[in-house]
Structure 1
Amino acid sequence: MPEAAKPVAFLDRDGVLNVDHGYVHRPERLEWVAGAPEAVRLLNEAGIPVIVITNQSGVARGYFGETDVQQFHAHVQEQLRARGAHVDAFYYCPHHPQGTVAEFAIACDCRKPKPGMLERAARDFAVDRRRSFLIGDKDDDVAAAAAFGVRGIKFDAKTQSLVEVVRKAMAGR
């Protein structure tokens, strides 16, 4: 029997979960946005899957490799688990049309603002689009949410509390 669709919290990574220092890929460069682990834990406690959706053009630009992205995500997960939280899945786009690594220097359907990563997540998870949301810090994040048919919430770590944004999103506001 197929799993019943449920609300999903899609979160951008850089600028939402971790401070965006520019092409963050080394575990020692992980600096949490204030309240990020607590916000993820709130979602976990509510039974809402947390899925990270992140553009990682540094791969296409040759700044780091896919293994670095995967190791950084493993470190994020380890640090979250130490705080009683977890991410259910990470999806990343390594592409950029102006990249220097030929394999990744393409226009793709997964780079936000296109919804490819969200569509891939929907194949892996039973997503109730009507009750799901994406929190991101860029217009491309909100555009990807709209293209996928979920609520897009623009977040500014300098002026907003991620915990409060998550609480409002869970309440449907």
Structure 2
Amino acid sequence: MTEWNKDEYLQKRKALERAGNDCKGTAESKDLIPSEVVAWIYGILTMLDTKASALMRLNGVLIAAATFLLAQFASPHSLMLGGRVQAVLVVVAALLSAISITLCLFVVNVGWPFLGKAEISGATVKFSEEICALSKTMNRRQLCYRSAWWVSLVASGCFFFELFMQTYHIICGAWGV
């Protein structure tokens, strides 16, 4: 995987905006305006926050469903296949979902450690340290979200595999197969 260069990306985005409807896309963009960079990074942080919140809701539903399945396994009148393998698979799905939620909490963290890093020198204000810290926060939160997404994908796979097995067991039992 190649290293992502945010400055180059921002220059391309700015050139694209200036190109407008010109299909040749020949606009130039060399100057990065700090307010545009900050607005762009905040936009990414907002998207990450929204996606992480949705992922936490999905994982919450998976944990609730896992709890329901575990309760059904313990019931003596349950039609469900209730072996040790099934219980372990459901517990692993719930545990992975909890790990994913924990990773998402680092994404939706309210702390903004980069604020106040702008340096005032006479009539000049340097924003480079603030933008650098903001960029590091964005990268860290992206990493946490991507990790949470992959963990959630594995948890969902475990849960849906178990759900498929239970469905197959109940349908075959109902048809006498």
Q: TM-score, normalised by structure 1?
A: 0.25
User: Whose strand fraction is larger, Structure 1's or Structure 2's?
Assistant: 1
Larger Rg: 2
* Higher relative contact order (Cα pairs below 8 Å, separated by 6+ residues): 1
